[in-house]
């Protein structure tokens, strides 16, 4: 079945450091890919998405590019802030087409940014 593997945390960075969180996927079809973020005590919020190969999703300084050849969707940010401290989840949906929109998540990566 479909699966998502993401970099295990926790990740601790200083403010203004460069961030990469790796994500790779296994899917039989052509999934859409997402990054969700969970701030402490809150639900999951969509951070960015990409729906086809070579698409780049971006939001709030974060970027991720859908790489079909390496089945990857790595999250990057050039300069993190303390407010970026959260758990980040990579997810996919719709790999088998039709109306299958359920999300398959990775385990999540806890990011802590220190001032």
Shortest spacing between CB 10 and another protein, in angstroms: 12
Q: Given the complex with another protein, which of 74 and 94 has the nearer CB atom?
A: 94
Q: How far is CA 53 from CA 67, 70, 85, 88, 100, in A?
A: 6, 11, 29, 21, 19
Residues 6+ apart with CB under 8 A from 99: none
Q: Which is nearer to another protein, 42 or 69 (CB)?
A: 42
Least distance (Å) between residue 49 CB and another protein:
6
Tell me whether residue 17 or residue 104 sits nearer to another protein (CB atom). 104
Tell me how far apart the alpha carbons of residues 93 and 77 are, in angstroms, rounded to a whole number: 24
Residue whose CB is less far from another protein, 69 or 101: 101
- Find the shortest distance in angstroms from Cβ 96 to another protein: 10
CB 5 within 8 A of CB 109: no
> Which residues are at the interface with another protein (CB under 8 A)?
32, 34, 36, 41-46, 49, 51, 89, 91, 94, 99-108
Tally of CB atoms within 10 A around 65: 17
The radius of gyration of the chain from alpha carbons, rounded to an integer in Å, stands at 14
Nearest distance from C-beta of residue 36 to another protein, angstroms:
8
């Amino acid at each position: 079945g479909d699966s998502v593997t993401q970099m295990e945390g926790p990740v601790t960075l200083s403010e203004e450091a460069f961030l990469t969180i790796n994500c790779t996927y296994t899917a039989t079809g052509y999934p859409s890919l997402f990054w969700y973020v969970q701030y402490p005590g809150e639900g999951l919020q969509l951070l960015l998405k990409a729906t086809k190969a070579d698409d780049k999703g971006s939001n709030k300084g974060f970027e991720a590019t859908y790489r079909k050849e390496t089945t990857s969707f790595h999250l990057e940010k050039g300069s993190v802030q303390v407010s970026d401290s959260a758990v980040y989840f990579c997810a996919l949906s719709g790999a088998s087409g039709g109306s299958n929109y359920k999300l398959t998540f990775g385990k999540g990566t806890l990011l802590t940014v220190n001032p």
